[in-house]
Structure 1
Amino acid sequence: MVSASIFGGKVRYGIMFLYLFLLPHKTYSQYQPQPCFSSSCGKISNITHPFRLKADPDHCGDSRYELDCVNNVTVLKLFGGEYFVESINYNNYTIRVVDPNIQPNNCSSLPRFILSPYNFTHYHSYDVNYMYKVRLNSMNAADYENSDLSKPVIYMKCTSPPSKVVDRYYADTASCVDQYTYVIVGDPPFGILEPQCRVKRITLTSFWGPTTTSRDPSTTSNNTIGNVSYIDIHKALDYGFEISWLQAYCSCGDLLDQCHLMEPAGEIQCDYTIGKTGSPLLQILNEKDYFEYYVELI
């Protein structure tokens, strides 16, 4: 009897000891954050920091760069619109998206959402422009240049055809849209704008690659593309447009100190930069009064 009682007590104490020993470890593991693995959705197979999917753990990625996975398509919400994600480039801090209304084999399909470069003027999560620094010679001299990642695509409704002086900048959409709609690609100077035309919608494309300009504000560049067919423009819309998360991802601190990429190494550095510049038309299009006076909103 005594032996059995002593043996039984040892078992009970042994079980209690193991329970107390294991309990803290089990409780601690419940509060450990889950590891953050890269996510995937459809064709986008490497969604990682700073990006995150809506279904990812809360501590993974940056909430400013949350993407959604809808019917196996990666979606970016931007200024009230929802764009399909085509690619993410973690080397140059860009993401390429396309308007969901653009159909590759249907040139009559038009962009659903209105978007211009000046939407990004006071928006710090994404930008259509970023600064990079390039080596100019073997003496390690360097200079700064702006890269406009995307060009505006401007739909104009004209009561009569543009004049012969500027018609090379106006792509005729008669075979796809209608005989009154023309499209300009780029930042048009006022000299090529016709009084009988009104802006109907604006979107973006990066099909023709970045436009490089000097950071010197006295330097102007007309990057308007001429003699391009609307079929090619529609292909450009199907390619989509790139935006950068470089400025929001850097840690320069002061708003006047912006990041730039040091090429070709791709290293991020801080630098004092001059404010954004652009064509007079797109600057005015950013003003509400001009929309009320000149732009026929749809």
Structure 2
Amino acid sequence: MEISGSRSFTLSLAFLLLCFCSETCAKSCTSSCGHNHNISYPFRLDDDPKHCGNVMYTLSCESNITVLDIPSSGKYYVQAINYDKKTIRIVDFGLQSNDCSSMPQNIPPNTNLYWSWPSTSIYYLMCSNPLNSSLYVDTAPCLNNTSSSSQPKTYSYVKVGEIEVWDLDEGCSAEWMTLAPVNYVDYSNVSYKDIHNALMYGFDLGFETPYAIRCQGKYWIGSYVSTCFPQTISGFFQFLWQQITGKLSSLLHNDYIGKSFS
């Protein structure tokens, strides 16, 4: 039992040191694509060496444009990455600059890898009658009102901010929803072109957990007990000791459970 425990301790220590070295190597890589000149940990490009970044945060470079593909949502242009705030600013792939008739094509992201950052909701409405309210922004001439011999005329608007079903005027329906940056413009007095420009600026997503944000990227973060340790030699050994004791506790627990059912 003593030999087995010593071996488990040695293997755990070697494993943790290997993980530490792997993370250090992963953080040493930088890449560039278009105007994003410092793509670094946890991000990586799909053609970077395998040891670079975190594979879960893989970006692609398409026609010299940095692209983020979120499977549950869709593709986004990456406008900027703020490594201090731990945010990534993205633009819907359906939007085109200098073309206010282009519309967002993705539903807002919902993923464990990224978390919501303050943003402004933009709802696209279709109405059977024209509206006369400051709550709604007419999308014309960017998005033309439609009519045909077989279909009655419809009118297109956007609503800035949250909306409830009972807030909709009679004959109106919400067709789409997207996100815009907070306070990019005075949304109480804008044209649709202003809103389109705000959408082209992009909205932020956080790419680390709120706890990691609290540690401000200056500390080791213990995985067994969420604790911030200073990135000093002393802090590293405190972090390492917590990882070792946590790992050993897990191994002993699993060994006990295994014997209980054997």
> What is the TM-score when the length of structure 2 is the normalising length?
0.63
Does the 8 A contact of 1:184 with 1:225 survive in 2?
Answer: no
Does the 8 A contact of 2:33 with 2:61 survive in 1?
Answer: yes
The offset of 1:76, in angstroms, is: 0.2
Report the Cα distance in structure 1 between the residues aligned to 2:163 and 2:219, rounded to whole angstroms: 33
Is the radius of gyration larger for structure 1 or structure 2?
A: 1
Matched with 2:177 is: 202
Does the 8 A contact of 2:67 with 2:75 survive in 1?
Answer: yes
The offset of 1:246, in angstroms, is: 2.5
Report the Cα distance in structure 1 between the residues aligned to 2:219 and 2:166, rounded to whole angstroms: 40
Q: 2:84 corresponds to which letter in structure 1? A: N
Matched with 2:255 is: none
User: Structure 1's 268 and 91: CA in aligned 2 closer, same or farther, altered over 3 A?
Assistant: farther
1:226 aligned onto 2:214: no
Report the Cα distance in structure 1 between the residues aligned to 2:196 and 2:218, rounded to whole angstroms: 32
Output the aligned Cα RMSD: 3.2
1:67 aligned onto 2:59: yes
1:184 aligned onto 2:162: no
Does the 8 A contact of 2:137 with 2:192 survive in 1?
Answer: yes
Q: 1:152 corresponds to which letter in structure 2? A: S
Does the 8 A contact of 1:39 with 1:48 survive in 2?
Answer: yes
Report the Cα distance in structure 2 between the residues aligned to 1:207 and 1:268, rounded to whole angstroms: 32
Aligned-residue sequence identity (percent) comes to: 38
> What is the TM-score when the length of structure 1 is the normalising length?
0.56
Matched with 1:105 is: 98
Report the Cα distance in structure 1 between the residues aligned to 2:138 and 2:42, rounded to whole angstroms: 41
SS at 2:134 equivalent: helix
Matched with 2:125 is: 156
Structure 1: where are the runs of 5+ without partners?
Answer: 1-31, 130-147, 210-223, 251-258, 272-298
- Paired residues, number: 190
Matched with 2:134 is: 168
The offset of 1:190, in angstroms, is: 5.1
User: Structure 1's 192 and 80: CA in aligned 2 closer, same or farther, altered over 3 A?
Assistant: closer
Matched with 1:193 is: 168
**From 80, 87, 95, the counterpart of 2:80:** 87
Matched with 1:114 is: 107
Alpha-carbon displacement from aligned partner over 1:151-183 (angstroms, at most 9, x marks no partner): 121101111123x5xx21210012110231110
Matched with 1:28 is: none
Report the Cα distance in structure 2 between the residues aligned to 1:126 and 1:235, rounded to whole angstroms: 24
Report the Cα distance in structure 2 between the residues aligned to 1:171 and 1:266, rounded to whole angstroms: 44
Structure 2: where are the runs of 5+ without partners?
Answer: 1-20, 146-154, 228-262
1:236 aligned onto 2:236: no
User: Structure 1's 191 and 94: CA in aligned 2 closer, same or farther, altered over 3 A?
Assistant: same
What stretches of structure 1 move > 3 A for 4+ residues in a row?
32-36, 189-192, 224-227, 259-262, 265-271
Matched with 1:255 is: none
**From 109, 115, 124, the counterpart of 2:112:** 124
